[in-house]
Amino acid sequence: MRAVGDDFETRALQLLQRAGLTLLERNYGTRYGEIDLVMRDDGCMVFVEVRYRGGSVQGGAAASVGAGKRARLARAAALYLQAHPALADRPCRFDVVAFDGAAASATAHWLRHAFEADAAT
């Protein structure tokens, strides 16, 4: 199952890099969980959650990033910024790259500013 996740993270990374974002770190782990991709978009820090769902049960991949997951991502991002103080004063956003459909032909949906950290906690 991890191989499937890695594949979709790679697809999301390629999508974001084609759009001009720069990868800073992949699979950043904290006690609150993992941030799939930490990227920079010009001067903005971007914390990216990548999700895949083969079907649209319960709203699909994007809908699977619930309040609990958003709160954990916000806490993990705060820890990342504490560990990298030179980046802490930059604006931040949380994006979701959601893939829906059969794995080989899944459609990507990039949700910029998917949620706010204040709304997540």
Note down pLDDT in tens along the chain; length 121 residues: 566 668 999 999 999 999 999 999 999 999 999 999 999 999 999 999 999 888 766 677 887 888 899 999 999 999 999 999 999 999 999 999 999 888 888 999 999 999 887 654 4
- Tell me the CA distances in angstroms from 107 to 11, 51, 69, 103, one per residue in order: 11, 11, 22, 9
pLDDT of residue 53: 83
Sign of CA dihedral 48, 50, 95, 30: negative
pLDDT of residue 84: 97
Sequence-distant (6+) residues with CB within 8 A of 93 are 41, 44, 45, 46, 47, 112, 113
pLDDT of residue 121: 46
pLDDT of residue 56: 65
Q: In CATH, what class is 2-120?
A: alpha beta
